[in-house]
């Protein structure tokens, strides 16, 4: 992909998310440093694999920036235990490759449909392990420059990170542990088993974070919410913390459903998903041109 001339396109964001909900935005696909610098000059949102996003039916007015194929560097993964990978690398492929190479550390992330950058941002994980277990260092574009930060500067906790405002992760350095393909595969069986109760249809994974010491899914189930439906958004019968899209769900449907769940569950539930657009949406990332008036590059 050539860098400098990136042509933004008008897209329906729902098509780029796993929940398949959300209106239009201007999509900038950056294939190299120069195009990423250009794309992040104005306020923007960063899109990974779109597997933890609820996007408003109205879309977003700001740019949506995503990393192009040059940032998906799975083929560069040659079995070294200490490895830099592009932030658009698909996590499922990485988890499989690490297993085949006999490298341990990522098996707890089996079944998480993220890109590496999105997995760092969410500190994706299961009770078998989180991305932060293997993350050593990241590279990011910040204010038009590429900078590196150690993992411990990112405030990674359960489903939480504190990236500097305006940062786009471009690469991540993971440190895996030597094992054998057989041992890693054996460890994956338990992770796979833990996922057996999760729905296989359109969703964005768990909607809410687990409250300390409990499972939001269990609480939602116990409150009798499975099968609760607003429009085409429904609480999955398989797992209480999964909202599924039966076909034509809107963000309004999903919001109303989340509200109905919160009314029925006595414990306060914090949303795990990131929200774009609408009154409760997160603010866009600041573009660097407003912060560094003379520009860069
Ligand atoms: P997106 O959803 O695209 O974005 C999430 C956030 O990360 C956004 O704020 C976005 O701006 C930011 N972001 C993405 N890329 C970058 C980047 N390069 N630089 C800066 N910011 C960036 N999650 C778990 O933790 N554990 C699970 O077991 C799990 N199971 C799931 C199962 C299913 C079927 C589904 C659909 C989802 C599941 N999830 C799970 C949720 C989701 O996969 C994770 O939160 C994942 O880390 C999101 O990554 P993404 O690339 O899709 O990011
Ligand atoms: N449970 C119920 N009813 C339900 C769902 C769960 O009774 O509808 C019970 C289960 O029987 C079990 C307990 O609650 O006793 C925990 O359930 P589960 O093992 O499914 O784990 P979870 O806490 O609901 C978490 C993560 C998932 C991750 C799984 C597997 C969160 C919010 N969820 O779910 O992550 O895949 O563990 O380790 O932390 C995600 O974050 O998007 C996600 C899918």
Q: What stretches of the chain show up as alpha helix (H) in DSSP?
A: 33-39, 91-100, 116-122, 181-195, 216-222, 251-264, 288-291
Mean pLDDT for 46-68 is 98
Q: What is the pLDDT of residue 112?
A: 98
Residue 111 Cα: closest atom of ligand 2 = 36
Pairing outcome for strands 177-178 and 168-175? unpaired
| Domain ranges, ordered by start, for the chain | 72-183, 208-271
Whole-number Å distance, alpha carbon 206 to ligand 2 midpoint, is: 8
For residue 297, the model assigns a pLDDT of 46
Segment 5-20 mean pLDDT? 92
Looking at residue 291, its pLDDT comes to: 78
Q: For the whole prediction, is pTM greater than 0.85?
A: yes
* Of 92, 204, 218, best ligand 2 pocket probe by most atoms within 8 Å of the beta carbon: 218
Given a cut of 80, whether residue 104 has pLDDT beyond it is yes
CA distance 69 to 125: 24
For residue range 176-199, what is the model confidence (pLDDT) as tens digits? 999 999 999 999 999 999 999 999
Answer yes or no: is pLDDT of 274 > 80. yes
Whether residue 4 has pLDDT greater than 60: no
Query: Per residue in 79-103, pLDDT tens?
Result: 899 999 999 999 999 999 999 999 9
The stretch 141-167 carries a mean pLDDT of 97
pLDDT value for 271? 97
Q: Matching CATH topology for 72-183 and 208-271?
A: no
Position in ligand 1 atom list of the atom nearest CA 116: 51
Nearest CA to ligand 1 atom 13: 118
- Mean predicted confidence (pLDDT) in 225-237: 98
Classify domain 208-271 by CATH architecture: Alpha-Beta Complex (3.90)
CATH number attached to the domain at 72-183: 3.30.465.10
Ligand 1 pocket, residue 245 CB under 6 Å: no
Q: What is the pLDDT of residue 293?
A: 58
Residues 58 and 29 sit within 8 Å (Cβ to Cβ):
no
* pLDDT at position 296 over 90: no
pLDDT number for residue 2: 45
For residue 169, the surrounding DSSP H or E stretch is strand 168-175
- Please provide the average confidence, as pLDDT, over all residues in the chain: 95
pLDDT at position 162 over 70? yes
How many Cβ atoms from other residues are within 10 Å of residue 295's Cβ? Answer: 10
Q: CA-CA-CA-CA torsion for 181, 151, 154, 42, nearest 10 degrees? A: -90
Task: Give residue 78's pLDDT.
Answer: 83
Based on the residue annotation, tell me whether 173 is a catalytic residue of this protein: no
Query: Region 102-117: what's the mean pLDDT?
Result: 98
CA distance 256 to 28: 31
The stretch 206-233 carries a mean pLDDT of 98
- Active-site residue identified among 37, 63, 206, 225: 206
So what's the pLDDT on residue 79? 85
- What number is the average pLDDT over the span 97-114? 97
């Amino acid at each position: 992909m050539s860098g400098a001339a990136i042509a933004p396109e008008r897209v329906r964001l729902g098509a780029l998310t796993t929940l398949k909900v959300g209106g239009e935005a201007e999509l900038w696909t950056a294939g190299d440093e120069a195009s990423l610098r250009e794309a992040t000059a104005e306020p923007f949102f960063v899109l990974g694999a779109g597997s933890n996003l609820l996007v408003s039916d109205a879309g977003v007015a700001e740019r949506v920036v995503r990393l192009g194929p040059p940032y998906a560097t799975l083929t560069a993964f040659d079995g070294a235990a200490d490895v830099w990978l592009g932030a658009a690398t698909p996590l499922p492929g990485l988890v499989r490759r690490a297993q085949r190479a006999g490298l341990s550390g990522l098996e707890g992330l089996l079944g998480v449909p993220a890109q590496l950058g999105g997995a760092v941002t969410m500190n994706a994980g299961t009770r078998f392990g989180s991305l932060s277990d293997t993350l050593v260092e990241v590279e990011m574009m910040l204010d038009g420059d590429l900078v590196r930060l150690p993992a411990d500067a990112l405030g990674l906790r359960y489903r939480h990170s504190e990236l500097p405002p305006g940062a786009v992760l471009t690469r991540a350095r993971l440190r895996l542990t030597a094992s054998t393909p057989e041992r890693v595969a054996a460890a994956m069986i338990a992770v796979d088993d833990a996922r057996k109760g999760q729905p296989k249809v359109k969703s964005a994974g768990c909607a809410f974070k687990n409250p300390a010491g409990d499972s939001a899914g269990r609480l939602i189930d116990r409150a009798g919410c499975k099968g609760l439906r607003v429009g085409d958004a429904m609480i999955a019968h398989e797992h209480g913390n999964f909202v599924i899209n039966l076909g034509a769900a809107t963000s309004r449907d999903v919001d109303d459903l989340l509200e109905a769940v919160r009314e029925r569950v006595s414990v306060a539930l914090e949303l795990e998903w990131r929200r774009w657009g609408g009154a409760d949406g997160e603010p866009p990332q600041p573009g660097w041109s407003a912060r560094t008036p003379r520009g860069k590059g």
